[in-house]
Structure 1
Amino acid sequence: MVLSDSVASSSEMSVRPVDGVWPCPFRGFHCCPDGMAGSKGFPRLIAHIKRLHLSSDDWKKVLREAISTDSDLFTSVGEASKASGQWLCGACMCLHALSRGCHHEDGLTIFNRVVGDTAEFIVGISKPHTGKEVVSLGGLAVDDRLLDRIFSLPLTTVKSIPPSCRMAFSHALTAALGKVAAAPDSVEAWVRLLVLPRCTLRVFRPSNRQEHQSGNRKSLQCQNIRRSLIAWGDEDGFVELILSLLAQPSNETPRLDKPSPSSDNSATHVNIKQCLRKVADGHFIAAVKVLCSSGVAPFGNDTLNALVAKHPTLPPPVMPDFLLSEPPLVVDADCVFKCIASFPKGTSCGRDGLRAQHILDAFCGEGCPKILAEYVASAPLTPLLKPDNGIRPIAVGMIWRRLVSKAAMRGVGKEMAKYLGDFQFGVGVPSGAEAVLHSANRFLNEFH
């Protein structure tokens, strides 16, 4: 490992052409104090980087560690790679033309340009973040606190994207996913992805009698979605969408010590409406169950205490500091699409408002930051009433987490079921919990 005595500081490592000559982004490393490649032209610069900085495994290791910890150096290398039409493979620290792949023992790594960010030109190394870095747009901090505020708003997204808006939403979703894939540790990229449905697919609320008419309402809904998707692609428009969400009047929350009154007639009316929705989705068995439902528990201290008793507050699980020896699970695109299509029609959304139908509509037309884990992995609880007035909490998680679970089960479900044997009902056994419950009830009824 050889370093120059005068290593340039992070603030001095920005790559900008000087008199037509692009300086080396690794100046200060390996006896390259000034960063001048010797002559004009990108071929000379690329040859200089390969000959001097990427000539040995030790020097590659030094640069990989520096790029993964220095945000300014990461940006400089990305800018130089983008300008020269090259991409850097973080696994082997080799430069390649954009049309060429990098062959490894475990497969082929290729360059995939999504939105053209400089981070995309460094594959296999995430852009470093200090942990305190918060992106601010127009005075708006794009962080987990903003996500918490948006998730707490009582907003509803459309059940299905109108056909005329599906292509635009597909582009917006692809761009948001591309930014997450390019920088999986970026809180801003994840926040943008998670607030996309609520910002662009909100249900239009008519304000007068004319807007309440069926034809006008559908047309206004499409216009509202198209307008939001157009604004989403612009930074100023993104800020306006967020501010418009935060400016929405929130529903008045009933007091905990005074549960909201509910009559049998109102509960029956709600059940009938929900039954009609299930019938429209083709879920006839669920429609019959809804008619016999006792409804949602009233908002009050008793309900809250019952939920806490069934789901006590616990600290999040601690992730291991060491790297797992097993390779990550990889599934193909067909498997993911089948998992998306396997969600029943009308599947409820999580806190982000994204529905499985939204992803299907979009198709027809490294991990999440720890600070956002509670939002992606959590689920709101709906306290349904049991016939004996008990509480049955129903958790509805985000589509992203449920989709990953489905894909993982398709990948390892059969092997895990064989490994666990026949005396388990949790993995690879459809309706396993119900089978245990009914068997226990039958046994008790026969012998007691």
Structure 2
Amino acid sequence: MVVGSAGKARKEKRDSTNATLKKIVEGELNDADISGALRVLSSEDIVAVPSLEILRSKHPAEAAGSSFPEPPDPTQLPDDVTVDEIMAAVQSLPNGSAGGIDCLRPKHMKDMLAGAANGTTTALAESLPRLVTLIVQGKVPTSVTSIFFEASLTAPKKKDGGIRPIAVGNTLRRLPAKIVSKRVGKEVDKRATPRQVGCGTTTLLVVSLRM
């Protein structure tokens, strides 16, 4: 049977799609994320190729006259982050979570901290709390904030034809956000109840890390 040029093009596209899917599934399995592999296999999501105008409409520019809170009083900074807080935050990140623009994935962090208690593992476990404390206290140098607080962007298509922009921040930026959320979660829950924010009372908790 002779395959026409159109049929050949469709076959090549299908083979390319299958190869990409296989690579993604293998990556999930290598991360010990079986549920993530199943989600990929059963997902109907397709990465969109939207126009810049559509994406900008989803994320409009800051409105004129917008105001933000003043930075925290330097004499009343949050308490230092502990090793236990770091370990709990790292373990709470799913194995299949993607990395940000620096490509450091949560699974990489888990693997590095799960090693034998040698000098390298201990040094990392002791250094992370000091780094995250600086971030939580708003002491990130302005020279790196534009990179450190950025995110990698993906825009899957919705079933209705729209797009769903997804931003994945750097793992080292997500750690302090999780720790701060944990610290203030009960207080926010108490103040928000019984109002619904998102799907639950405190599903949406925006943590602003002052730079």
Normalized against structure 1, the TM-score is what?
Answer: 0.33
Compute the displacement of 1:426 (Å): 5.2
The aligned residue for residue 209 of structure 2 is none
The aligned residue for residue 207 of structure 1 is none
Compute the displacement of 1:427 (Å): 10
Structure showing greater radius of gyration is 1
The aligned residue for residue 387 of structure 1 is 159
Distance (Å, rounded) in 2 between the aligned partners of 1:388 and 1:264: 23
Matching residue's letter, 2:52: L
Matching residue's letter, 2:60: P
Q: Deviations over 1:322-347 (max 9, x none)?
A: 73674424332111111112111132
Distance 1:276 1:379, change over 3 A: same
Distance (Å, rounded) in 2 between the aligned partners of 1:419 and 1:307: 34
Distance (Å, rounded) in 1 between the aligned partners of 2:147 and 2:67: 14
Secondary structure at the aligned position of 1:381 is classed as strand
Instruction: Identify the match of residue 91 of structure 2 among 331, 341, 344.
Output: 341
Percent identity of the aligned residues? 30
Please give the residue correspondences for 1:29-48 in structure 2 after superposition, counting only pairs within 5 Å. Answer: none
Compute the displacement of 1:396 (Å): 0.5
Q: Is the 8 A contact 1:413 1:428 kept in 2?
A: no
Distance 1:280 1:358, change over 3 A: closer
Matching residue's letter, 1:304: L
Matching residue's letter, 1:407: I
Matching residue's letter, 1:350: G
Matching residue's letter, 1:395: A
Q: Is the 8 A contact 2:194 2:201 kept in 1?
A: no
Q: Is the 8 A contact 1:384 1:391 kept in 2?
A: yes
Q: Deviations over 1:1-39 (max 9, x none)?
A: xxxxxxxxxxxxxxxxxxxxxxxxxxxxxxxxxxxxxxx
Q: CA RMSD in A?
A: 3.3
- Does 1:311 pair with 2:62? no
Distance 1:353 1:387, change over 3 A: same
Q: Deviations over 1:20-65 (max 9, x none)?
A: xxxxxxxxxxxxxxxxxxxxxxxxxxxxxxxxxxxxxxxxxxxxxx
Matching residue's letter, 2:161: N
Distance 1:329 1:294, change over 3 A: same
Please give the residue correspondences for 1:38-437 in structure 2 after superposition, counting only pairs within 5 Å. Answer: 263-291=13-41, 292-298=43-49, 302-314=50-62, 320=70, 323=73, 326-363=76-113, 364=115, 365=121, 366=134, 367-425=139-197, 432=203
Q: Is the 8 A contact 1:350 1:397 kept in 2?
A: yes
Secondary structure at the aligned position of 2:26 is classed as helix
Distance 1:322 1:354, change over 3 A: closer
Instruction: Give 5+ residue unaligned stretches, structure 2.
Output: 1-11, 116-120, 122-133, 205-211
Compute the displacement of 1:348 (Å): 1.3
Distance (Å, rounded) in 2 between the aligned partners of 1:408 and 1:307: 30
Q: Is the 8 A contact 2:195 2:201 kept in 1?
A: no
Q: Deviations over 1:84-123 (max 9, x none)?
A: xxxxxxxxxxxxxxxxxxxxxxxxxxxxxxxxxxxxxxxx
Matching residue's letter, 2:82: D
Distance (Å, rounded) in 2 between the aligned partners of 1:312 and 1:277: 35
Distance 1:427 1:335, change over 3 A: farther
Distance 1:408 1:296, change over 3 A: same
Distance 1:400 1:332, change over 3 A: same
Distance (Å, rounded) in 2 between the aligned partners of 1:388 and 1:274: 25
Matching residue's letter, 2:154: T
Secondary structure at the aligned position of 1:392 is classed as coil
Give the number of the structure with larger relative contact order, counting CA–CA contacts within 8 Å between residues 6 or more apart: 2
Compute the displacement of 1:417 (Å): 1.0
Compute the displacement of 1:423 (Å): 1.7
Secondary structure at the aligned position of 2:56 is classed as helix
Matching residue's letter, 2:148: V
Compute the displacement of 1:369 (Å): 1.7
Aligned length: 168
Compute the displacement of 1:350 (Å): 1.1
Compute the displacement of 1:310 (Å): 1.1
Distance (Å, rounded) in 2 between the aligned partners of 1:281 and 1:317: 42
Instruction: Give 5+ residue unaligned stretches, structure 1.
Output: 1-261, 434-448
Secondary structure at the aligned position of 2:161 is classed as coil
The aligned residue for residue 6 of structure 2 is none
Normalized against structure 2, the TM-score is what?
Answer: 0.64
Distance 1:428 1:354, change over 3 A: farther
